[in-house]
Structure 1
Amino acid sequence: MLTVHHLGKSQSERIVWLCEELEIPYALQRYTRDPVTILSPPELRALSPTWAAPVITEGDLVLAESGAIVEYIIAKHGGGRLALGPDHPDFASYLYWLHFANGTLQPAMGRNMILGRLNLAADNPVLLATRGRLERALGLVEARLGKVEFLAGSEFTAADIMPVFSLTTMRYFMSVDLAPYPNILAYLQRIAQRPAYQRAMEKGDPGMPLLLT
């Protein structure tokens, strides 16, 4: 049985959502962050040398890294659904946006989160450069969503599952005003209407207000 090990308010929400979109059988093991450190509890750390979620287990397999897990589940359990193949006209766009979340957007948010806690001067050059990188990343998403309904093109794919955490739940750790990005906000409302997303968030983080605006 495929088991998704989900840490509350973490990138592992992507994997729960993916399983719900694919409507595949899976077991969900939920974990709560340490109230002092806000890190993973010991039982989840034992599964991953990085102490991070998500992690999946299946038989003897233990796999971390959300991008790798998404590709594994789609190939192994999803019959290729929610991915675009090399013959699809949007294949390159699918690949770009699938990897954009963890390659560009999430790292930019993480760096801003850390620097924001250091009480640096407002004109600190590192702080300004890091904020600029995040603004460019969000601007790129905004521009893309002004042209297409979903990030890869007209179809909802795994490329949409990857960045939504950064645009929503990550904002519990670092405040980001999305008011200047109306296309992103409209996109998040489209995501919010997906039954699989609703099911996933209720199963993974029941009662957590969703930061969709």
Structure 2
Amino acid sequence: VHPLGKSPVLTDGNTTVAETGAIVEYLLEKYGNGRLLPAPGTPEALRYRYWMHFAEGSAMPPLLLTLIFDRVANGPMPFFVRPVARAIAAKVMDLMVRPNITRQLDFMEAELGRSLWFAGDELSGADIMMSFPLEAAAQRAGLDGRRPKLMAFLDRVHTRPAFKQALARGGRYDFA
């Protein structure tokens, strides 16, 4: 469906939309009836825009690197290459990836000290976008009870009826 073979892709009638953030915005603008979108021109609208883009532009890349370097370190390879590949992967993780993730998680934890949700006191599309990198961080990048605001955020997302309905319809998802 997408000329580059990318996913996710949404087809809605004659309209095709790619990229997660664009899909979320399209759905909210077309079908949201004003829900999950802060009022234009408000501080919440600016925070909404920031977190919509932060989710995939800043939060996801180091999480993807975690997945890649885990595969490099633990994937099949000739025995004589294994020690070098593992050493390189460990060094990149220790010097670049983990510190970046730690800074980002600390930043997000502090931001959730400002309000219940990322863009304010009401759930928004930005929270939907942020739930994915935070789920990935909880699964493979050390997000745990040391950051109670982020864990509480995930709990709030998980207890929402729409989240439960989505899981019932689509099944569990895996960040492997």
Q: Report the TM-score, using the length of structure 1 for normalisation.
A: 0.67
Match of 1:177 in 2: 142
Q: Is it true that 1:134 corresponds to 2:101 in the alignment?
A: yes
Cα distance in 2 for partners of 1:76, 1:127 equals 44
Q: Residues 26-83 of structure 1: CA distance to partner in whole angstroms, max 9, x if unpaired?
A: xxxxxxxxxxxxxxxxxxxxx2234343211122222110111111111122233211
Aligned length: 161
Match of 2:43 in 1: 89
User: After the TM superposition, which segments of 4 or more aligned residues of structure 1 sit over 6 Å from their partners?
Assistant: none
1:162 and 2:129 aligned: yes
Deviates more, 1:137-146 or 1:75-84: 75-84
Structure with greater proportional helix content: 2
The one-letter code sitting in structure 2 at the alignment partner of 1:162 is M
Q: Which has the larger radius of gyration?
A: 2
Deviations 1:78-111 (A, max 9, x none): 2332112333232211111111101111112111
CA offset at residue 125 of structure 1?
Answer: 4.5
Task: Note if 1:190 corresponds to 2:153.
Answer: no
Structure 1 unaligned runs (5+)?
A: 1-46
Name the residue aligned to 2:58.
Answer: 104
- Cα deviation, 1:164-200, whole Å, max 9, x if unaligned, reads 12222x369x622222211111111111111011111
The CA distance in 1 between the partners of 2:121 and 2:62, in whole Å, is 27
Q: Equivalent residue for 1:116?
A: 70
Cα pair distance change 1:57/1:123, threshold 3 Å: closer
Question: 1:57 is paired with a residue of what secondary structure?
Answer: strand
Q: TM-score, normalised by structure 2?
A: 0.80
Q: CA deviation at 1:156?
A: 0.8
- Other-structure match for 2:81: none
The residue that corresponds to 1:53 in the other structure is 7
Cα shift at 1:209: 7.7
SS of aligned partner of 1:177: coil
Contact 1:53 1:65 in 2 (8 A): yes
Where in structure 2 are the equivalents of 1:17-28 lying within 5 Å? none
Residue 110 to residue 85, structure 1, CA distance change in 2 (3 Å): same
Aligned-residue offset at 1:210: 8.6
SS of the equivalent of 1:200 reads helix
* In structure 2, distance between residues paired with 1:138 and 1:189: 16
Find the aligned partners of 1:83 and 1:209 in 2 and give their Cα distance.
Answer: 26
| Partner of residue 110 from structure 2, selected from 120, 143, 148 | 143
1:73 has 2:40 as partner: no
Task: Decide whether aligned partners of structure 1 residues 93 and 123 sit closer, same or farther in structure 2, where only a CA change above 3 A counts.
Answer: same
Structure 2 portions without partners, runs of 5+: 74-85
More displaced 10-residue stretch of structure 1: 157-166 or 74-83? 74-83
